[in-house]
Structure 1
Amino acid sequence: MRRLSLRLSALTGAGAAALCASTAYAAPDSAPNWRTAATGTATSASSIAVDAADAADLTEVVVTARRTAERAQDVPIPLSVVSGDALERSGGYTLVDIQNRVPNLVAFNSNPRNSSVGIRGIGVSSAADGLDTSVGVYVDGVYLGRPGMALQDLIDVEQVEVLRGPQGTLFGRNSSAGVLNITTRRPSFTPGATFEVSLGDYDYRQFRGSVTGPLIADRLAGRLTVFRTDRDGVLKNPRTGVAGNSIGRFGVRGQLLFTPTESLSARLIAEYSDENDTCCVSVVNQVFDPAISATTRRTLQAFAVLGFTPAVSQDVYDANAPQKMRTDQKAVSAEVNWDLGFGDLTSISAWRYWHFDPLQDSDNTPLDILQKNAAITKDWQWSQELRLASKPGRLTWQTGLYLFRQKLKDHYVLNQFGSDAGAFYTVYNRLSNPSAPVVNIAAGSQYLGDTTAITESWAVFGQANYDLTDRLILTAGLRYTHDERHGTTVTSTRGTPYGPTSIPFNYDITVDGGNWSYLVSATWRLTDQVNAYASYSTGYKAAGLNLNSSVSAGTPLVLEPEEVQDGELGLKSSLWGNRATLNANLYWAELTGLQANIYPSNGAKSYLANVGDVRARGVELEGAVEVTSQLTLSANGSYNDVSYSDYPNGPCPVGQTAPCDMTGRPVYQAPRWTAAANAEWRGDLGNGIEPFALVQYSYRSAVFGSVDDAPYSRIKGYALLNLRAGARFGDRYEVSAWVSNALDEFYLATLGSASVPGAGSWGATGQPGAPRTAGVTLRADF
């Protein structure tokens, strides 16, 4: 048992809010002044926002980034906003669609369990039972304990806020890299309904529907949202005949809004969603030269003896076992807002259950060496947050309490051996030792692991803004958090598994501690249209447990916390009579102890480790302009220089001898350049006919796909172009045609070495993005 002192993050300060004109929201006629004074949350952003298509002022985007309804241009945080209306107009509905609209965000899922979200090059690590996420994901104020919980389609969403830099002073769980703050549409006392059907290539079918209205006049309103998305696989499999990377997701969300008095409201949300598809298979991007290492040569020779020769392919994956990703989750949350007169009290109570039951080929070959790899996961989480916020004034403040408990149970089929296992390992061993004994493995033999991880956390926090003058505001925040994490793992075997890859281990580990984190920032109103910001904050990600790695050199049982020191300088400007915005942000962050997943090049099981210290620095630019009442343009871009400032004992690529000095090398999955541009045109032909057209372009520069920055893991930069055109008929009907990835760009989201446990790496495999697809969408609003 080991106990560590933990540090928690503070909400970062200054920055520039992102405004894409097609994503903007406008405030009501009684728009707030240059800095909204309200700090309570009794009135949420989603309850006061209206569609930017009906407004000419691009500066009145309302967000809840600081747990209060404020204009985005007034919030001293590097912040991008994508509205639900903008997602619907463009056809977007996933986190990857969000990634392609904002700077410095990386979102992908190698499977629903191992999904990753990173900001500014920090946070892209595989899921682990004993590890928090570097980027916190929140839905309607509720923290999601695993990124995979957010993989359901983003349907009936009010808006998505991407907060860059460490967050913690006001958010429930501290996040060292940033936050995704997702809010869904609330029930309305005005009756309404929306139905949408999309059809496209690969038998793509998506249905979205929502109905809202009063159940008891002025007292109780409800909202029901249903979605289903299906698409055939896009990668052929000649062995099974079942194409890979299909989509199959379903979800339903029910809400009640209760307003018994003018000073009290309660919102209850219950939801269920599931996934059943062939998600996340990879293609062979490179077959290694046998001369790269002795183990690679022996692995390829053993393959050949068993009749398999790997080949590079972009549209075929060759595996003999079926691929199934099966996930279901259910959740209930209640938000209560109470106006106490002197302040506003908010309570958010939540429970969530997440279940993952996959089936996937362990060896990624058509040989029956390893039949199955599965991590059957059951995750329960409970959270309670209480916040008390002052009324508007020269001094405004918030204080609160946060409680969180998560229990996770995993049953791992670490390896299930097939009918070719004994022959493969016998040939592999005899290529280096001709007298090696025959390896006898009964088909179906298993190497198993059972893990339980329990996390408990509580925090108290406070933050205050003081108007020192009419043009200068000072902000300070302080938070104390206590975390405790306990985990156990026990392995076992069935049958006659291969001994060198079935190492027994039994872990029982606890880590706990407390942390103080803080924020200081200043906001200057340089003119009525220009605000400047500066801040310094500390960030934190709790210590972790390495619960799923076999005992071997370099696999620590306890990971030190991530600790961040972050500085921000930002400028937000409103131009041309509030018909344009131009925002800029500079940042410099120093992080110690980056937590990441390492995949050994010898085929051994992956493990978690602190992979050195990191320095991230760069600039983010975002702007939008309403050229005419019919044409809106927006663009953003970022330069992100993130590298290991101290990592002398890093992992090595295949063919190199450890250790490898990674100091000065770029951090993996961190594009140096990102850029996006959007153009939206809306016309009027009279008689209620309004044609429209949208063009979306995004670019991401090359990145490395693995921690060791191996040359074979380098993912080439790529650009994507999406097109959509259609017409609105009156206030009710809309039809559009669309093309995604119009240039049919081949690109990879992941890339790393492929190996057979107990043997050597034989090539590089990666998950490709979707090819060009086209279709039509029909929508009706009532």
Structure 2
Amino acid sequence: MSSSVLADDGFTLEEIVVTAQKREQSLQEVPIAVQAIDSDMLEQNSVVSISDIGNMTPGLSIGNAVQDGAEIAIRGIGTSVLGLGFDQSVPLYLDGVYLGRGFDLLGDMIDVQQIEVLKGPQGTLFGRNAAAGAINVTTAAPVDEVEGRLKVGVGREDLRTVQAMYNTPLTENLLLRVNGSLRKRDGWQENLDGGDDLYEQDQSTARAKLLWMAQEDLSVELTADYSNVDNTQGGYILEKASPGITTQDIDDKAAPSTTRLLDGTTAEPFVERKSHGLSAKVTWDLSDELTFTSISSYRKAEVDMQVGNGSLSLIPDAINGTTLNLPVLVDRFEIEADEYSQEFRLSGISDKADWFAGFNYYKSEGEQLEPLALPAIAMANIISMTPSALTGTYYDDSQKSLIDTESYSLFGDVIWHLTDKLNLTTGLRYSYDEKTSEFKPSQQAEATFFATVPDHFLNGKTKDSADWDDVSGRIVVDYQVDEDTMVYAGVSTGYKSGGFGSTVGVAAALAGEAFNPFDKETTTNYEAGVKMTTYDGRLRINMAAFFTEFENYQLQMADLNVPGTALDLSAPEAESHGVDLDIAFAATESLNLGLLVGYLETEYAKDVLTDAGEVAIPKGQDLLRAPRWTTTAVIDYVLPVADIGDLRFNTTYTYRTSQRLSNSTAASLTSATSGVGDPGVVITESDNESGSYGLLNARLSLLSADETWEVAVWGTNLTDKAYRDDDNSAVANGVLSALSAGTGVPMAVTSYTRNEPRMWGVDFTYNF
């Protein structure tokens, strides 16, 4: 998938250099399944945010960004949960800095040099919690020359974008690189409840890097970045519903969004996120063989997000046939998070071994406030009050969670050069995590939810601490069969710390119980692969087969017995196995072809039980976001145009089979509707899935002969394919169950958010 370059004897594929093992290495020498996406690939696929790379990488799935970060899964293993008390199974790293929950790369991906997607546990190589893999984003560093770039664009839905970059030497040993972006777009989804369209965008990003080459062997790189996102969220599409509830077609770009509150006002979906960060990287070459590296960082994020359930707030009352002007459910989250990290590494190189050892410290302080919108229908069923008895407004009740994390780790990794062709890689890591969770409910009005909570729970502070430690490692053997072929096999283990749910369930609150900590998640991965370059350097084939076992796999699912709440569970055992294939071919000097294929099978290896011993998820059910087949095909063609420049056409087609979006089964969703089923709605297992889909992206550009300017026309999802991206049926049906309880008139819906439709635009770039 890289462009071809001229060589003395013809043309070959470009070499891909990665830092997957904390060293600069050719991709073909690294005994890890790595997908490298360089800046050119990001440009050709019109990548805006980290979510956009999900469809470019087999084995990687990235769903809609929730309030505390994108939902990321590698090989079916991810963290589909809400709350700061959970860590990601697939962490994000920005220039070597770990990004915790509450932080995400939601701004424009500007001036990115390369993204590396590492598959499988990476415990000995990366800072924290890389139990299923890691995504490492590297931005461009300052260089010793004056250069700049200005890019402006327009597109569908009144899209307007500006990106700028300027690089300059300030002195002989001081270099500066700054960049920024602005992005505005109208919404593409009609709001059926009136008001502004949904999925509007208004976001800005900025970054500055200062590189000080203090001495020939000592450099300091300082980075400051800022991101501001002020977007509207989408509404849930009701595809199937009981009589009396209006439905929509997922192909239609329309959905209800408004949820009505008790005081007569309405709640619209939105997300506001501000984040900024500072980091310092010190690199000191102690000798030709020994290097010391220090990375220090501080980051802060503020998030305010609201998701409404639209016309579910105006459901016909099954009791008296009237329309209920009462709230059903509004998810509102306000998050503030600060995090600090410090990593020291000492690395060496010799004829017999390449090695590094390090120490990592991480601390985060998070506050999550969840104002209750008083879901009166649900509460009436739970606390034996009638809806009319509930009074108050949106902020009358709230629950605040304070989650503090402190983590230490020692790690090391050595590549032993046993012979000229045979290497043995060994790595070991010790991790220690401690978390403190404090819950503070508040009540401002009479007869609201927390008025029914026992005094000893309401008037005191619910606070608890827990700690976890783990030793993880890897051992990998790689053998250079010949100059062009390397084979490898190994086993690695991974670890993700335990934690606390940061939203207390209604049942626990009524019982006067604090939420309990959940245990750590561990991973064992067995993998074998081959990396080869043939056909005079024009054909590259990389393939890996893997089998991964998870113990105490952390998950969350809707509690259908208590509407509006979730169960924090762990699966005793989960499994994932499959094959990854990556082929790149320089067919001619002008034509490059690429093919990526992933095959994946996942399952819960044992029944997942609730604390009461009930089966929540049966053995054999698929894990979330784990499509059986993913295929990506790339065509890149460059046609020289005399005296003008190069005309380039790039197209990418991705196909994915269906993937599961909800842990709830069809049976549990049906039984939630009063336990008698719904004659008007037939819910099947396929209603828990995305459905298969194919996406076509393309870009046509003309680059001037001196490369000073470029004009490009681009399009994403050109066939306008619609598919389910997130499932809300379980939560909605839990609410409907409470509404219809005892009436003999069951209700049910299937409700989803969908993907972005066809988009297109025109960009003009000026380089100097």
State the TM-score bracket (shorter-chain normalisation): 0.7 to 0.9
The C-alpha deviation readout for 1:185-211, integer Å capped at 9, x for no partner, is: 011111111111121111111211101
Note if contact 2:236-2:310 (Cα within 8 Å) is conserved in structure 1: no
Kept in 2, the 8 Å contact 1:509–1:545? The answer is: no
Matched, 1:276 2:214: no
Q: Which residue of 2 aligns with 1:108?
A: 63
Kindly indicate whether residue 571 of structure 2 is the aligned counterpart of residue 611 of structure 1.
yes
| Cα 1:147/1:522, change in 2 over 3 Å | farther
Map 1:475-514 onto structure 2 (within 5 A).
475-496=425-446, 499=449, 505=457, 507-514=462-469
1:96 is paired with a residue whose SS is helix
Residue 558 of structure 2 corresponds to residue 599 of structure 1: yes
2:717 is the alignment partner of 1:746: no
User: How far 1:578 moved relative to its partner?
Assistant: 1.2
Q: What corresponds to 1:322 in structure 2?
A: 268
Selected match of 1:563 from 501, 506, 522: 522
Q: Is the contact between residue 447 and residue 492 of structure 1 (CA under 8 Å) also seen in structure 2?
A: yes
Please list, as runs of the form range in 1=range in 2, the aligned pairs for 1:25-64 lying within 5 A after superposition: 56-58=11-13, 60-64=15-19
**Aligned CA distance change for structure 1 residues 732 and 283 (closer, same or farther; 3 Å):** same
**8 Å contact kept, 1:194–1:210:** yes
- How many Å apart are 1:446 and its aligned residue? 2.9
The corresponding residue for 2:692 is 717
From the superposition, tell whether residues 686 and 93 of structure 1 become closer, same or farther in structure 2 (CA, over 3 Å).
same
- Structure 1, 406-415 or 705-714: larger mean CA deviation: 705-714
Number of the residue aligned with 2:210: 256
Give 5+ residue unaligned stretches, structure 1. 1-19, 30-54, 290-299
- Partner residue, 1:456: 406
Counterpart contact for 1:669–1:706, Cα < 8 Å: no
Alignment partner, residue 643 of structure 1: 603
3-state SS of paired residue (1:358) = strand
3-state secondary structure, aligned to 1:683: strand
1:176-255 alignment runs, 5 A limit: 176-217=131-172, 219-255=173-209
Q: Aligned in 2, Cα 1:229/1:194: closer, same or farther, shift over 3 Å?
A: same
Deviates more, 1:603-612 or 1:520-529: 603-612
Asked which structure has the greater RCO (Cα within 8 Å, sep 6+), the reply is 1
For residues 470 and 325 of structure 1, do their structure 2 counterparts lie closer, same or farther at Cα, with a shift above 3 Å needed? same
**How far has the Cα of 1:447 moved from its partner?**
2.5
Partner SS state of residue 477, structure 1: strand
The alpha carbon displacement at 1:279 in A equals 2.6
**Is the 8 Å Cα contact of residues 736 and 776 (structure 1) preserved in structure 2?**
yes
Cα deviation for residue 112 of structure 1 reads 4.2
What amino acid is aligned across from residue 178 of structure 2 in structure 1? L
Render the CA deviation track for 1:280-338: whole Å, top value 9, x for unaligned: 43222221x5xxxxxxxxxx7xxx6xxx6455553222233222211000100011100
Quote the offset at 1:514 in angstroms: 2.3
Instruction: Name the aligned partner's letter for residue 178 of structure 1.
Output: G
CA contact (8 A) 1:115 1:127 kept: no
8 Å CA contact 2:88–2:129 kept in 1: the answer is: no
Letter in 2 for 1:77: I
Deviation of residue 649 (structure 1)?
Answer: 2.8
| TM superposition score normalised by structure 2 | 0.87
Structure 2 contact 468–498 (Cα < 8 Å) conserved: no
Equivalent residue, structure 1, for 2:674: none
Q: Partners in 1 of 2:215 and 2:235 — Cα distance?
A: 53
2:441 alignment partner AA: T
- Contact persistence 1:138–1:181 (CA under 8 A): yes
Query: What SS is found at the alignment partner of 1:749?
Result: strand
Assess, with a 3 A threshold, how the Cα gap between structure 1 residues 629 and 392 changes in structure 2: closer, same or farther. Answer: farther
Specify whether residues 648 and 548 from structure 1 end up closer, same or farther in structure 2 by C-alpha distance, changes over 3 A only. Answer: closer
Which amino acid is the alignment partner of residue 523 of structure 2? V
Match of 2:420 among 470, 477, 494: 470
Q: Could you tell me how far 1:509 is from its partner in structure 2?
A: 1.5
Q: Kindly indicate whether the alpha-carbon contact (under 8 Å) linking 2:121 and 2:523 is maintained by their aligned counterparts in 1.
A: yes
Of the three residues 307, 319, 338, the one matched with 2:284 is: 338
CA apart distance, 1:353? 0.2
Report matched runs for 1:82-481 at 5 Å: 82-146=37-101, 148-217=103-172, 219-287=173-241, 289=242, 309=246, 314-320=252-258, 321-341=267-287, 342-361=289-308, 365=312, 367=314, 369-370=326-327, 372-416=330-374, 421=376, 438-444=388-394, 446-481=396-431
Number of the residue aligned with 2:594: 634
SS in 2 for 1:21: coil
Q: Distance in 2 between matches of 1:613 and 1:147?
A: 28
Distance 1:492 1:263, change over 3 A: same
**Cα contact 1:400–1:460 (8 A) shared by 2:** yes
2:546 paired with 1:587 = yes
1:208 match: secondary structure: strand
Query: Are the aligned partners of 2:443 and 2:451 in contact in 1 as well (CA < 8 Å)?
Result: no
CA displacement 1:79-130 (0-9 Å, x = unmatched): 0000012211332222232111111001122434252111001014123221
Supply the distance in 1 between the matched residues of 2:617 and 2:726 (Cα, whole angstroms): 23
**Correspondence for 2:487:** 532
Matched, 1:777 2:763: yes
* Correspondence for 1:732 among 682, 690, 708: 708
In the alignment, the residues of structure 1 paired with residue 68 and residue 45 of structure 2 have an alpha-carbon distance, to the nearest angstrom, of 28
> How has the CA–CA distance of structure 1 residues 309 and 285 changed in structure 2, closer, same or farther, with 3 Å as cutoff?
closer
1:616-655 per-residue CA deviation (whole Å, 9 max, x = no partner) reads 1100000100111100000101111110111253799xxx
How big is each residue's C-alpha offset from its partner over 1:9-30, in whole Å with a ceiling of 9 and x where there is no partner?
xxxxxxxxxxx225x9x9999x
Change (3 A) 1:377 1:56: farther
Is residue 362–residue 406 contact of structure 2 (8 Å, CA) maintained in 1? yes
Give the aligned partner of residue 42 of structure 1: none
Q: Distance in 1 between matches of 2:560 and 2:579?
A: 35
Q: How far off its partner does 1:416 sit?
A: 4.3
Percent identity over the alignment is 27
Q: Write out per-residue CA displacement over residues 741-762 of structure 1, whole angstroms, 9 at most, x where no aligned residue.
A: 1111111211231427554773
Report deviation, 1:777. 1.0
Give the aligned residue type for 1:62: V
Q: What residue is the counterpart of 2:680 in the other structure?
A: none
CA displacement, residues 673-728 of structure 1 (integer Å, 9 cap, x when unaligned): 11101111011112132111011100111112111243222210110001211211
TM-score, length basis structure 1: 0.85
Q: Aligned with 1:552: secondary structure?
A: helix
Cα offset for 1:601? 2.5
Q: Does 2:763 correspond to 1:763? A: no
8 Å CA contact 2:475–2:492 kept in 1: the answer is yes
Q: Shift of residue 415 of structure 1?
A: 2.5
- Is the contact made by 2:356 and 2:412 (CA closer than 8 Å) also made in structure 1? yes
Over 3 Å counting, the alpha-carbon distance change for 1:705 and 1:229 in structure 2 is: same
Whether contact under 8 Å (2:356, 2:413) holds in the other structure is yes
Partner-residue secondary structure (3-state), 1:87: helix
Structure 2 residue 627 is matched with structure 1 residue 667: no
Range with greater deviation from structure 2 (79-88 or 344-353): 79-88
Unaligned runs of 5+ in 2: 259-266, 315-324, 667-684, 741-746
Shift in Å, 1:439: 3.0
**How far has the Cα of 1:671 moved from its partner?**
0.9
Q: 1:129 to 1:364 in 2, by over 3 A?
A: farther
**How many residues matched?**
706
Aligned to 1:46: none
| Cα deviation, residue 414, structure 1 | 3.0
C-alpha contact (below 8 Å) 1:111/1:325 kept by paired residues: no
Pick the aligned partner of 1:541 from 487, 490, 496: 496
Q: Does 1:677 align with 2:677?
A: no
